[in-house]
């Protein structure tokens, strides 16, 4: 990444917000792929009304500034459920009320039954999640959406880690986001990417964050993908 790369103000503000909330942390963390990552993003720590409200604003701003068009929102269980709900509410505040649905992990055998809750799935569906590590939640969502006769159209996430996915325990040359775009044919928008995180760290003057910058650079060199 060139140091002259133009900054994305929305992404930079989001990274700062995530750091301030303790959602984005630096150290040593084991990922699902078994890698030791120098940073960890835990969206579950957007854990009060004020944080969720601000988070929804970031999602809405990124979406409305993108060319992505959609007819409804789908939040995959579990983290996608509150994310989709607060995004739908924020879009309504901005004058665009769209239907929202989510799924259960286990089918309900009483009441309305089934695994889907909320508005009927129809039209172009936007899937909302926090990060995309392997694309598993997206593939499961696609199957649910298509089985309901709707069209999985796009995904919006908070952070694109821009790193190689794994298949069968082996690194592959593409990221989960690239797989979803290129192979599954869905549009993807992210509030921020690893490149934005690196820019943020590059402009911090505390010893701890300067050290984190070097570790993230090394991690990117080993596992990063080129968009």
Q: Which residues are catalytic?
A: 108, 110
Nearest to 189 by CA among 133, 126, 144: 126
Residues in the chain: 227
Alpha-helical (H) ranges within 65-130 are 80-93
Q: Which of 138, 140, 112 is nearest to 126 (CA)?
A: 138
H or E segment and range at residue 101: strand 100-108
44: DSSP letter: G
Residue whose C-alpha is closest to residue 98's, from 122, 66, 131 = 122
The first and second tokens of residue 23, run together, are: 């959602």
The whole-angstrom separation of Cα 26 and Cα 218 is: 14
| Alpha-carbon gap, residue 190 to 66, rounded angstroms | 10
Please state, in angstroms and rounded to a whole number, the distance separating the CA atoms of residues 50 and 53: 5
Is residue 155 within 8 Å of residue 137, measured between CB atoms? no
Helix (H, G, I), strand (E, B) or coil at 17: helix
């Amino acid at each position: 990444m060139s140091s002259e790369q133009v900054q994305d103000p929305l992404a930079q503000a989001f990274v700062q917000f995530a750091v301030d909330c303790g959602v984005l942390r630096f150290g040593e963390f084991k990922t699902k792929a078994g890698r030791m990552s120098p940073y960890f993003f835990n969206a579950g720590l957007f854990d009060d009304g004020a944080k969720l409200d601000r988070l929804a604003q970031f999602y809405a701003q990124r979406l409305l500034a993108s060319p992505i068009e959609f007819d409804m929102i789908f939040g995959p269980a579990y983290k996608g459920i509150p994310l989709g709900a607060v995004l739908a509410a924020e879009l309504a505040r901005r004058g665009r009320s769209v239907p929202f649905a989510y799924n259960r992990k286990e089918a309900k055998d009483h009441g309305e039954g089934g695994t889907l809750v909320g508005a009927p799935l129809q039209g172009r569906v936007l899937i909302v999640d926090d990060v995309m590590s392997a694309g598993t939640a997206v593939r499961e969502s696609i199957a649910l959406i298509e089985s309901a006769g709707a069209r999985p159209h796009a995904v919006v996430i908070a952070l694109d880690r821009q790193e190689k996915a794994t298949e069968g325990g082996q690194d592959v040359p593409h990221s989960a986001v690239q797989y979803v775009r290129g192979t599954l044919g869905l549009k993807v928008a992210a509030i921020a990417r690893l490149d934005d995180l690196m820019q943020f760290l590059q402009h911090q003057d505390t010893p701890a964050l300067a050290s984190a910058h070097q570790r993230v650079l090394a991690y990117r060199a080993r596992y990063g993908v080129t968009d």
